Amino acid sequence: MSQTIYGYARVSTRSQYEDRQMLSLNSQFEILPKNIFVDKQSGSHFERPAYMRLLKKLQKGDLLVICSLDRLGRNYQEIQEQWRHLTHKLMIDIVVLDMPLLDTRGRRDLLGTLISDLVLQLLSFMAQNERENIHQRQSEGIRAARLRGVKFGRPTKFLAGDRARAQIIQEWLAHRITAAQAGAALGVSTRTLYRWLDKGILIPSNKQLK
């Protein structure tokens, strides 16, 4: 049975972050465009129509390539459930590009499966903790900014005259995207984002962002 290679990406911002994932997916594997599935929804609702279509396409022995483990779920439990569904029920292989240990190819024996499962449990737990720490830092930064009198409201409060960038900041402050995603979309580092937030300068002028 021939193996089909699929790629999956989940993005919460505009094309810049999506393009990075596309480059990563094709950096090691030649994936046909029709076999790359992308979900662009963001927010608290974790609806993933493209992922659901992908699940219907996957056949035993196929290979799924993802950039990072958190593409499979929002938390430890969801990641575990999806991993088991993909590897045990659908019996496909998975390659997680930023975690080389999570490569199930050639690990169908008992020991290989045990090692992959143990590594998965550890890394998915770490991924969830990192997201929770990021959210905590965001919340603390927002509370500190409010104590200094910084107002949160319409997009023009964040960046006058640039609704697209203002929307990105709103998504980040609402915890719908990560600081890394917001920074990538704005072309700045996460450290810069937190520095702006800490100083009450949520967004600099358009000139600074260019």
5-127, which class in CATH? alpha beta
Please give the model's pTM, rounded to 2 decimal places: 0.56
20 Cβ neighbours under 8 A, 6+ residues apart? 184
Give me 12's structure tokens.
Answer: 């919460």
Average pLDDT for 182-196: 76
The answer to whether 38 touches 18, Cβ cutoff 8 Å, is yes
d(CA 107, CA 119): 13
> Which of 12-16, 52-56, 77-81, 83-87 is predicted most confidently?
52-56
What residues contact 66, with CB distance under 8 A and at least 6 apart?
7, 8, 9, 25, 72, 94, 95, 96, 97
pLDDT band of residue 21 (cuts 50, 70, 90) is confident
State the average pLDDT for the chain.
73
- Of the candidates 2, 12, 44, 205, the residue annotated as catalytic is 12
12 is known as an active-site residue: yes
Residues 120-178: pLDDT tens digits? 666 666 666 666 666 666 666 666 666 666 555 444 334 444 566 777 777 777 777 77
Question: Could you tell me which of 53, 54, 50 has the C-alpha nearest to residue 39?
Answer: 50
**Terminal C-alpha separation, the chain:** 51
pLDDT at 3 over 80: yes
In the chain, residues under CATH classification 3.40.50.1390 are 5-127
Grade residue 105 by pLDDT with cuts at 50, 70 and 90: confident
Alpha helices in the chain (DSSP H): 15-28, 49-57, 76-84, 110-147, 155-158, 163-173, 179-186, 190-199, 206-209
Q: Quick one: average pLDDT of 5-13?
A: 83
Compute the Cα dihedral for 81, 83, 89, 90 and give only its sign.
positive
What is the H or E stretch that residue 10 is in? strand 5-10
